[in-house]
Amino acid sequence: MKLTIDKQLVTLGELRQAWSEPVQVSLGIDARRAIAESSEFIGDVVASGEQVYGVNTGFGQLARVHISDDELVHLQENLVRSHSVGVGDDLDEDIVRLIMLMKVIALAEGFSGVRLELVDALCALINHNIYPRIPSKGSVGASGDLAPLAHMSGVLIGVGEARVDGELVPADEALKEAGIEPIRLAPKEGLALLNGTQVSTALALAAVFRTENVLAAALVAGAMSADAVKGSDTPFDRRIQSVRGHGGQIAVAGVLRQLMRDSEIRASHVSCDHVQDPYSIRCQPQVVGACLDVLRHVCSVLETEANAVTDNPLVFTDSKSVLSGGNFHAEPVALAADYLALAIAEIGALSERRIALLVDEHLSGLPSFLVEEGGLNSGFMMAQVTAAALASENKSLAHPASVDSLPTSANQEDHVSMATFAARRLHTMLGNTVDIVAIELLAAAQGVEFHRPGKSSPPLEQAIAELRDISPRYTEDRSLSRDIAKVAAIIDEGRFARHAASVLPSLGA
C-alpha cells in the first residue's frame, strides 16, 4: 500500500492494511507546509529566549530547570536515551509499523514543532522496513507511551536496535544499510517523539482487527453448531431483531440467516415438536450482536485517536502560541480497550457453552462427546475442558486496567491511564478466544457430519471442507492439540472474515 499523509483522515481500513502488510509512506504538500511553519515558529521561540516547557526546560518534575541554548540538542537526545527503559518481550513488527505510521500522522498535522527532516526520516524507516526493537512493557499510558516510543526514537539517532528482514541489528548498522543518516534532534523533537499514545493505540487497533477475525469465525461456528444440534433459525428472524432495534443484533442475525440458508439439515426438522434451543444457540444475535456494537464503538474511538495529535506542548502558528495540555493521556484508549476486553471474553464464553452443548448427548442428540464407540474413545471430552479453562482465564483478564492508577514522576503525573497494558492484555485474551472458537469449529463440523448424507448450507459446507483440509474427521482417539493450533491459525489470519465482512468496521461495514 502507498499512503500519502496530507492532513486527511486515515481510515480504519487503511490502518488495517498497514497492520497486515508493509506500507510506503510519504508526506503531501499541505502536511509539509504545516510541519515547516511549526518548526520555524519553534526556532523563533528559541531565538527569543522565551522559556517554553520541553523546548528549553527540563521535563516532568524538572520543568522548572532552564536549559541553555548550547545544550538544547543534548537535552533532547538525553531524553531519548534516559527514557529507553522498556522491558519484556519485543512488540511484533506489524505493531511497530502501526506505531511509526501513527507517529507520522500526528507529526504531519503541524502542531508539534518538529522539522521536515525528522518526519521524512521516520517515513524512511517505514519505507525500508526497518522496525525498531520496542520492548512491550514499561508504559503507564500517560505523558504518552514514553518508554516504548523512546526505543522507537532511538533508532532515528542511531542508538538501540532494529529488525531488518527479521534479523536484530544495531540501529546505526540498519540506518547505514538503508542509506539513512542518523538525526541530530533539534529543540522539542525528542519530546514530540516520546509524547503520544501511538503504542497503546497500535496495540488496541491490532486487537480490534483480530477481534473482527474471531467474531466472524464465531458466527460461522455458532451457525454450524446450531445445525449440528438441529437447532432452529427462527430466533434469527429479522422481525425479532427489529423490534429491539440494536444495530449489532440486527447485523449478526442477518449473517446467521445467510450462513444457515438452504441447509438440508435445517429443512429436515423444520416441523419438529422441539420448542426452544439453549441460549448459546438461540441468543447469538443478542450476545454477539452486543459484542459487535462494542467493537464498532471501540473502532470509532481508535480511528479518532490514530489521527490525533497527542504530544505536548502543542504549537499553534496561527496565534503564535505554544500551549501545554494533556493530550498524551491515553484514557480514551484505556477505556476502549477495557470495553473491548468484555466483548472478547463474551465471544469466547458463548462459544465454550456451545462446545459443552455439542458434547452432551442429552442436550445435543449427538453421540456422547462426538465420537463413535464412546467409552473406548473419549472424543471431545478434554477439548471442552480446555475451552472451559481458557474462558475462565479470560474472566480474570477482563478486569478493567483503567481503574488502576499509580502516580509517577514524583507525583507530577498523579493519574495515569494504564492504556498500554489495557491494550496489550487483549492479545492474550484473543489467543484464548481464538483457541476456544477453533475447538468449537472442530466440534461443530464433527456434529454436522453425524447427519450425513444430509448436508448443511453451502457456506457451512465450504467451511467444513476448509477444516477437513487441515484436520481429518475424528474417528478414534488422537491428540487434537495440533489440529486446534492449525484451525486457530486460519481464524487469526482472517480466513472466515469474508462471511461477516459486510458488518465488520474495518472491512467495509
Residues annotated as catalytic are 53
- Residues forming beta bridges with residue 167, ordered by sequence position: 164
Q: Which amino acid is at 308?
A: A
Residue 367 three-state SS: coil
Q: Which amino acid is at 354?
A: R
User: How many Å apart are CA 152 and CA 47, to the nearest integer?
Assistant: 29
Q: What is the dihedral of CA 426, 200, 178, 167, to 10 degrees?
A: -30
What are the strands of the beta sheet with 130-132, ordered from one edge?
130-132, 161-164, 167-170
Kindly report the backbone phi and psi dihedral angles of residue 166, in degrees, each rounded to the nearest multiple of 5, phi listed first.
Answer: 80, -5
Pairing of strands 2-5, 24-27: parallel
Q: What is the dihedral of CA 345, 202, 134, 404, to 10 degrees?
A: -50
CB burial string 302-331: b at 16+ within 10 A, e below? bbebbbbbbbbbbbebeeeebeeeebbbbb
The DSSP code sequence of 101-115 is HHHHHHHTTS-S---
Residue 3 three-state SS: strand
The CB-side HSE value for 260 (13 A sphere, CA atoms) comes to 30
Pairing of strands 130-132, 161-164: antiparallel
- Least Cα distance to 38 among 304, 313, 305, 306 occurs for 313
User: How many Å apart are CA 54 and CA 470, to the nearest integer?
Assistant: 56
* 247-260 vs 198-228: helix crossing angle, rounded to 10: 50
457 burial class (0-12, 13-18, 19+ CB within 10 angstroms)?
A: buried
